[in-house]
Amino acid sequence: MKKLINLLRGYVEIEAIGAFPERLLNLCAQNRLQFWKLCWIDATSFTFRIALSDRKRLDELAQRSMCRLTERGRRGAAAVAQGILQRRWGFVAGVVFCFVAVSFLSQFLLVIEVTGNETTPTAVILSQLQRVGVRPGAYGPSIPEKEAANAALLGLPELSYMAINIYGTRAEVVVHEAEKKPKLLDESTPADIVAEVDGIIEDIQAEAGRPMFQDGDIVAKGEVLITGDLDLKEPEGGTVDLGHLIVRAVGSVTARTWRTLEETIPLTCQVKAYTGEERTGYGVKILWFDVDFFQNSSISDGRYDKITKTEQLVLFGRAFPVWLTTTTLRGYTLEERPLDQEQASVRLEQALAARLDGLLEANQGEVLRADFTAKEEDGRLTVTLLAECREKIGRTIERPGETGRHF
């Protein structure tokens, strides 16, 4: 065990020469300087080992005993480290600089992770955090976590909770999304339910107000289906005018409707013909610094497709704020070419079907039957969609005044 301790502390092997060398040993004992491995060479000289930390004190004692000391070698961890410091100071300085740089740079944020969001995009949360100073490259210890979270939360009404936890170069942002509050019905403003389109009523249900039509009636766009004006009937034989009651009409009206939609396109179009001219450039983004490694990358005639591909540096499963961007420019010219009429017709039919689905989605409708007709005239193709549908056609229209009883 003692041998291991001596190796860690480091020691020096010394040769002492003098008229009375035993005086040096006596002084070492008196001053409690430990030595070992004592070996006499002759009557005036001997060798021994002493701890590296006691080397200077030994020189003082040697002068007092009039002995000359000669080092035969140094051993141990401390001696090796001392030798490196003396011979390779540049390397040591570099190691110290790297250690200081890593210690300093580890205080800056490199990665921001957002958890807990489902419907709110992460990019929106990161953008708001950047406004309050939480971004890659920010000095972590200077960020007040609680205050920054509260400030960011004010700009994100879709969130109910946010916490920022900083771990060295990584910031963890935990959020909870707010529950959507149901829209309250405004009963203080009178309103009628009006037909949004023409149709034949299949079912009319009034929760508040008075229906103006029955099942099977034909209605036109803009007609009042359920009115919020209720006439209060007087009792038989009565002489007092009870007036009428104004309410906000509530109900649903399902009707069979017919929708006519139309789309038209020219039968010729300009298409891209690639010339084969191509440029590729690279760029690096580190934190908020952008560095491009290419110049004069534009195509000669100015017409080109720009394809940008960005990849983030990921090491050991963790993303770092370093992005490599590859930008490819492909030159092209425009050529006039005829369209295939059958393909154009199919495209227009798909576009019309998508428009119809969008109209019916808001009205909870369905398509009962759909017919397409196509017509070519003056170099243009026109496709018409005639659809029979079932949908809710009532729309609430507010009117001035207040609800309640009126005379």
Pairwise CA distance, residues 52 & 40, whole Å: 21
Q: Kindly report which listed range (12-16, 130-134, 181-185, 201-205) carries the lowest average pLDDT score.
A: 181-185
**pTM passes above 0.85:** no
First-to-final CA distance of the chain = 110
* pLDDT beyond 60 at 376: yes
Instruction: Output the CATH code of domain 111-177.
Output: 3.10.20.310
Tokens at residue 284, please? 């690096």
Provide the residue ranges of all domains of the chain, joining segments of one domain with +: 2-84, 111-177, 263-267+339-391, 269-336
Tens of pLDDT along 114-165?
Answer: 998 888 898 899 889 988 888 887 888 888 889 999 999 888 888 889 999 9
CATH of 2-84, one of 3.30.70.270, 3.40.50.720, 3.30.70.2280, 3.30.30.10: 3.30.70.2280
Query: What does the DSSP assignment read for 161-210?
Result: EEEEEEETTEEEEEEEEPPPPPPPP--SS-EEEEESS-EEEEEEEEEESE
Tens of pLDDT along 152-192?
Answer: 988 888 888 999 998 888 889 999 998 877 666 667 788 88
Model confidence band, residue 19 (pLDDT cutoffs 50, 70, 90) = confident
